[in-house]
Structure 1
Amino acid sequence: MELFDQLLLLVISLIANLFSAVAGGGAGLLQLPALLFLGLPFGVALATHKVASVFLGLGATARHLKSSTFDWHFVSFILLMGLPGVVLGASIILQIDDRVAQGLLGLLTLGLGLYSWFKPELGQLSAPVNRDLRGYLVGGLVLFVIGALNGSLTSGTGLFVTIWLVRWFGLDYKAAVAYTMVLVGIFWNGTGAITLGILGDIEWSWLPALIVGSLLGGYLGAHLAIVKGNRLIKRSFEVITILVGISLMAKALA
């Protein structure tokens, strides 16, 4: 890549990952289309973006570990339920036409944003619920499905985890985003990147700018979310989900 393209990628990656770290997902809204616009095929762009997204998780984690308290049994549960779905989704995405899936995912994502918008108190206070056997079974099944979406369609699936942790398990937005950035950002995206790298190709020469932007954006976004709290995170989540939903539907119809 030419120096100008690397600088452009760095700026796009920084902005995309900063907002993603605040909202709990959505970096693919800007970053993946940028890779496609600059000439990468979809499968290569998706795998390259997945690798870069791991560094979003690392940057955000570096900040969240300073001030967030994690339930490590809950951490293990999210990983156990989500990672098999990620592998499944990443294994099949390179074989199918994803336009219909993107359109449906976009519609659902838009609906999540509007749902949160019209629920002013959603996720403002932590009130743990559904921590019995039935709650974990239903919650785990949905996390598996979201994991499959995460492995196959990169735009916005971290947002699904964030809203599910808020709506089903009763976390506030601040805690939900912390879990999403650490677990989805590092482990889910890392698993997806490895699977896509084995089955497809990664454009390694594009990664330096993406990695720097992801690390800085992740750290700065996590810091902003921690300092400003649930109200800003909720509003950011709603704006990002609505934009991601519209973007996915537009791509599906193009």
Structure 2
Amino acid sequence: MVETWVYPALTAMAVLTGFIDSVAGGGGLLMMPTLIYAGVPPQMLLGTNKVQSGCGTAMAAYKYWRAGLFELRPNLWVVAFVFAGAAAGALVIQRFSPGTLMLIVPVLLMAVSVYTLVSPRMSDHDAHAILSEKTYRPVGGLLGFYDGFFGPGAGQFYATSLVSLRGLGLTRATGLTKLLNVTSNIASILVFGLGGKVLWTLGLCMGAGAMLGNWIGAHTATRFGAKVIRPLLVTCSLGMTARLLWGWFHG
């Protein structure tokens, strides 16, 4: 179904996208066109991408947890909301085309880019929280739904919402983002896998590359903090916005 050369090529590509994902999020929009170019069947695209993304994000989440950037117990409820939302999104995407998102998502990503550039809160300093952990749960569920339904930019949306609504510093928000990201990836993988929409061998090969990229990226982010995360977050948001707009207006 997939030519032999695709396996090492996409594994190498996953190292790059894994690095981007672990620091700023958004590697999926670079990976998905690559999967299409490599000849991965459209019905297997999202599920296979979720496997590699899940492997890599798990590595990043572990690194951030070891660095003390988040705790699991205080976030169990939001994790549950994200899991349920992502499972629902993965079920829905298998029933109709997400084409309208290709116009909506660039607007959202541009908003994230502008907020990241102008907000003084996009730093490593914690600020006053607008929402408590309890009232943030539905937001996490909605973002989980988006991640299961489509995915690209979910890392930016998680991180930005944690900074702007929960008052977390950017590095801490990036750490907790990986926990939420890996949760939504696991839920999506289960749904796509049960639906037979995953190329497991390819996904796991790419997952190995993504784990390496995420390990490097998480090490970089925990060492250098917001001064690395902020510019990469803006760059990825603007790059994904341009890529989505190009894809929309050029068919």
- After TM superposition, the score normalised by the length of structure 1 is 0.91
* SS in structure 1 at match of 2:5: helix
The amino acid that maps onto 1:146 is L
Moved more, 122-131 or 37-46: 122-131
State the shift of 1:162 in Å: 0.8
Q: Distance in 2 between matches of 1:31 and 1:136?
A: 34
Aligned to 1:75: 75
Q: Distance in 1 between matches of 2:173 and 2:93?
A: 27
Per-residue CA distance 1:17-59 (angstroms, 9 max, x = gap): 1011111x21202111111111123331100011111111222
Paired-residue identity, %: 22
RMSD of Structure 2 on Structure 1 (CA): 1.8
Aligned to 2:5: 4
Per-residue CA distance 1:131-167 (angstroms, 9 max, x = gap): 54xx732x22222211111011021112111110011
Contact 1:16–1:29 at 8 Å: present in 2 too? no
Change (3 A) 1:41 1:5: closer
Moved more, 237-246 or 219-228: 237-246
Q: Distance in 2 between matches of 1:228 and 1:196?
A: 36
Q: Distance in 2 between matches of 1:41 and 1:20?
A: 24
* SS in structure 2 at match of 1:99: coil
Q: Does 1:174 align with 2:171?
A: yes
Aligned to 2:183: 187
Q: Distance in 2 between matches of 1:109 and 1:131?
A: 22
State the shift of 1:109 in Å: 1.2
Of 158, 179, 198, the residue aligned with 2:155 is 158
The runs of 5 or more residues in structure 1 that have no matched partner are: none
* SS in structure 1 at match of 2:119: coil
- After TM superposition, the score normalised by the length of structure 2 is 0.92
Matches within 5 A, 1:90-239: 90-130=90-130, 132=132, 136-137=134-135, 139-184=136-181, 186-239=182-235
Contact 1:29–1:244 at 8 Å: present in 2 too? yes
Aligned to 1:62: 62
State the shift of 1:246 in Å: 2.2
Q: Distance in 2 between matches of 1:77 and 1:123?
A: 26
Q: Distance in 1 between matches of 2:47 and 2:147?
A: 12
Q: Distance in 1 between matches of 2:140 and 2:183?
A: 14
Aligned to 2:22: 21
Aligned residue pairs, count: 249
Contact 1:99–1:251 at 8 Å: present in 2 too? no
Q: Distance in 2 between matches of 1:26 and 1:121?
A: 21
* SS in structure 2 at match of 1:11: helix
Moved more, 117-126 or 102-111: 117-126
Q: Distance in 2 between matches of 1:208 and 1:80?
A: 25
Contact 2:20–2:27 at 8 Å: present in 1 too? yes
Moved more, 242-251 or 97-106: 242-251
Q: Distance in 1 between matches of 2:53 and 2:242?
A: 22
Contact 2:69–2:171 at 8 Å: present in 1 too? no
Contact 1:47–1:202 at 8 Å: present in 2 too? yes
The amino acid that maps onto 1:144 is G
State the shift of 1:120 in Å: 4.4
State the shift of 1:70 in Å: 2.3
Q: Distance in 2 between matches of 1:105 and 1:157?
A: 10
Contact 1:130–1:136 at 8 Å: present in 2 too? no
